[in-house]
Amino acid sequence: MVGGRVVVLGGLVGGGLVVVLRVGGGTVTVGTGLVVGATVVVGAAVVVGAAVVVGAAVVVGAAVVEGAAVVEGAAVVEGAAAVLVGALVVRTAAVVLAPASLVTRTDVVRVGSVEALVLVPSTDTSGDTGSASSLPERSRLKPTSSRLSAIRTAITATIVSVRLNPPTWALLRLVGLAVSAAMPRTLPGCQGMARDSSCSSDRQITPLLAGSTLCDSRHYPVDGNHNTKEVPVRLRFGTFMAPFHSPEHNPTLSLEQDLELIEHMDRLGFDEAWIGEHHSAGSEIIASPEIFIANAAARTKNIKLGTGVVSLPYHNPLWVAERMVLLDHLTRGRIMLGVGPGALPTDAAMLGLEPPEMRPLLHEYMQIVMQLLTSDEPVNYSSNRLTLTDARLHLRPYSDPLFDIAVAAVASPSGAKLAGKYGAGILSLGATVAVGMDVLAHHWSIQEEVAAVHGRTADRAKWRLVGLMHLAETEQEARRDVDYGMTQWFRYFQNVAAFPQMAVEGGDVDEMVNFVNGGLGVVGTPDQAVAQIEELLEQSNGGFGAYLMLAHNWANPEATKKSWDLFARHVMPRFQSGGGGLVGAADRARARRPELAEQQLRAVDEATQSYEEERQIILTTT
């Protein structure tokens, strides 16, 4: 590892084995030589015949294939065609070239603080699995080959030689510089960008050993100094709808109002709506998010609909999985599953559940749900609350491989741990309350650590933050709007719901608005909303996938719909690809307007003069 960066040395190892070593947070791939056949691996660039793999871009011949986040430990390249299999991605730069076979099996060996990931070609199917029991789980990959035990000593010796042989790094850097000099510096559209330059969707080929940085579509400028923040290519937006209604309101009309809001969001182009489950306290009136979603799905075309969340300890997990798969088919894949322990103690008390029981039950039932959704193996489970005997799903999911799954998280690390264990997303419900802001980046670190232990991938695109906003054309107008229902919402959390993680302060509406605008959210203008989201991106220390606005009903239905309209028109384009291009086009046109306008006037003058000259000739000849 050079300067804390990822370093790759060698290609194929030992007749088709590739060994990826992780040393103290960095990654080192060790092979038997710098060049093996036609494979050269240097820095973050992998050259395979006519194919070049750099960051998130794969260049095959003259074609550019752009994956999702490409590079995730066990990505596979088939034959000499250098085609990435599936949607897997490789952040460790461990690309495997296995003619006539795919590398689909994996194992992990640890020596001290060093971890070695061994990828074995699938042509060797004779392996036993006896040594896999003590190794970390690797999702969707078969256990170790029988040859693994025979090469443990060799791997250990290689690790030691790598750690104790400093000249290796000097040699590797020289090779990196030489290859980088021979390679094209940029792909089309990334014209000579220097380190820290502003990047959009272009790619820059700059091997890490050469001391440069990679430019790809996951980096966007966040200030005028061209500093960049790693965020998903397109930030998604939606709502987290508990919902919240005054107990004095007609519940039938309130539910209809919720459905109409989701229809409105669908027309505006919002991406997601998550629907809650509650059974007490008088304000959050949806008892079954699945039934509500079925109704909303019939009224909408594109927006994805999720349970936000199913309180898993309240239910038989077999029926939860069955209902979600049914909705997956009915919505043609627009369903999402969110799970949590249950927020209201008054709900749990009716089932005889105590708060300390909730999270252990969530973990047990989540394991059952995930096995049902991802495996054909029967589930057998017995406790004092539930018995399952040879339980299987009746239908398999419509989504391939599976619909989105997310776990609720507020302050406790429990949700982040569960998400990491199963490669799920996080619903950060308290992202903007004081306790949530303090643990925002910490939650992500927990998820990454747990995901690594279980052989999963923590994907920032699956991380959703929930916040509070009401927008109007001026802050004064927004303040007047929320006089309709903000007091009821605050009093609910101050005096009714036993949910201390959502502690809010304020005696009158002005104090409540000031409390929200003090960091909790925005009661104001679209520009204030943009600034709030940029602040959250900064605090997340790397970006997130979606921002969900809580459906709080602070304003009347008309003002609420206007708020969502303003957000869609003025805020969403700032974090999605469509708006930035138009702003850039306008800026470029503005910059060239004086020059082009002068050219236009000159062209008109020339045409007029030409006409007059022709007219004089005609008049003279006649």
DSSP per position, 32-70: S-SEETTEEEETTEEEETTEEEETTEEEETTEEEE-SS-
- Whether 547 shows a pLDDT value over 70: the answer reads yes
pLDDT attached to residue 581 = 72
- Whether 112 shows a pLDDT value over 90: the answer reads no
What torsion, rounded to 10 degrees, do the Cα atoms 105, 108, 109, 110 define? Answer: 170
pLDDT attached to residue 538 = 85
pLDDT attached to residue 436 = 53
Q: Which of 414, 474, 481 is nearest to 450 (CA)?
A: 414
pLDDT attached to residue 431 = 61
Higher per-residue pLDDT: 314 or 15: 314
Exposed / middle / buried, residue 267 (Cβ in 10 Å: 0-12, 13-18, 19+): middle
pLDDT attached to residue 414 = 87
pLDDT attached to residue 621 = 84
pLDDT tens, position by position, 313-355? 999 999 999 999 999 999 999 999 999 999 899 999 999 999 9
* Confidence tier at 78 by pLDDT (50, 70, 90): very low
Please state the separation of Cα 348 from the chain's center in Å: 32
Higher per-residue pLDDT: 614 or 95: 614
Q: Extract the tokens encoding 146.
A: 């029988």
pLDDT attached to residue 221 = 33
Q: What is the pTM of this model?
A: 0.63
- Whether 555 shows a pLDDT value over 90: the answer reads yes
pLDDT exceeding 90 applies to what percent of the chain?
50
Q: SS3 breakdown of the chain: % helix, strand, coil, rounded to 5?
A: 40, 20, 35
- Whether 175 shows a pLDDT value over 60: the answer reads no
**10 Å Cβ neighbour count for 216?**
20
Q: Extract the tokens encoding 315.
A: 């239910």
Higher per-residue pLDDT: 518 or 565: 565
Q: Please report, for residues 51, 241, 432, 448, 549, the alpha-carbon distance to residue 468 in angstroms, rounded to integers and kept in the order given.
A: 47, 12, 8, 27, 6
Spatial separation of the C-alpha atoms in residues 334 and 293, rounded to whole Å: 10
Q: Extract the tokens encoding 378.
A: 């029967």
* Confidence tier at 505 by pLDDT (50, 70, 90): confident
pLDDT attached to residue 439 = 67
pLDDT attached to residue 59 = 33
β-strand partners of 58: 53, 65
pLDDT tens, position by position, 572-593? 999 996 556 777 888 899 999 9
pLDDT attached to residue 582 = 78
pLDDT attached to residue 599 = 94
Mean of the pLDDT values across residues 615-622? 85
* Confidence tier at 425 by pLDDT (50, 70, 90): very high
- Whether 25 shows a pLDDT value over 90: the answer reads no
Mean of the pLDDT values across residues 146-156? 33
pLDDT attached to residue 33 = 32
The three-point CA angle 130-134-136 to 5° equals 115
Choose the most confident range, by mean pLDDT, from 21-25, 69-73, 122-126, 480-484. Answer: 480-484
Lowest mean pLDDT among 432-436, 481-485, 513-517: 432-436
pLDDT exceeding 70 applies to what percent of the chain?
60
Mean of the pLDDT values across residues 113-139? 36
Contact 151, 127 (CB under 8 A): no
Exposed / middle / buried, residue 23 (Cβ in 10 Å: 0-12, 13-18, 19+): middle
Average of per-residue pLDDT values in the chain: 71
pLDDT attached to residue 564 = 98
> What are the strands of the beta sheet with 63-66, ordered from one edge?
35-36, 39-42, 45-48, 51-54, 57-60, 63-66
* Confidence tier at 519 by pLDDT (50, 70, 90): confident
Higher per-residue pLDDT: 294 or 139: 294
Alpha helices by DSSP H, 62-183: 148-164, 167-182
pLDDT tens, position by position, 214-259? 233 333 333 333 333 344 468 999 999 999 999 999 999 999 999 9
